[in-house]
Amino acid sequence: MASITELANQFFVACETGKGWEGCKAYCKPDASFAAQAEPLKDVRTLQQYTDWMKGLLKILPDGRYELRSFATDAERRSVCAYGVFYGTHRGEGGPVPPTGKSTRTDYVYVMEFDGDKIRHMTKIWHSGLAMKELGWA
């Protein structure tokens, strides 16, 4: 059986490359929850909704990509933290305004909590307000 570190990494890559729920659900409980104190995600409550949100975001920011900066496992608490930097330029249709051509470089952290070998909950820590301003959305 793969370790939670390996599973979290596989989930992270699938999520961050826009695979949506179809590409991420193998790593998650079917009812996995999601939380973030970020305005664009205020109504997102499940990991399914979040992974599909990321898939949609990569259509709006077609050059969207991430740089993984840190990845750590807390075996005692059965959680994995991933710190990344997301880069993207609003060139695709969709989003709150027509394409702005503006870019963002935004830091974020995922905290993935496991139940057995599946993610049961994920929290995203992200200062969305700065990213929204950089993209010309706020």
What is the per-residue pLDDT for 94?
Answer: 84
Short-list 12, 28, 36, CA closest to 86: 12
- State the pLDDT confidence band at 2, using cuts at 50, 70 and 90: confident
CATH number at residue 24: 3.10.450.50
What integer best gives the mean pLDDT of the chain? 97
Q: How far apart are CA 61 and CA 75, in angstroms?
A: 35
Give me the number of domains the chain comprises. Answer: 1
Question: What is the per-residue pLDDT across 88-121, written as a single tens digit (0 to 9) for each?
Answer: 999 999 888 999 999 999 999 999 999 999 999 9
∠ Cα 88 21 73 (to 5°): 75
- Measured distance CA(100)–CA(80) in Å, rounded: 35
pLDDT band at 1 (very low <50, low <70, confident <90, very high): low
Q: Provide the 8-state DSSP code for 43.
A: T
The tokens 């952290």 sit on which residue? Answer: 109
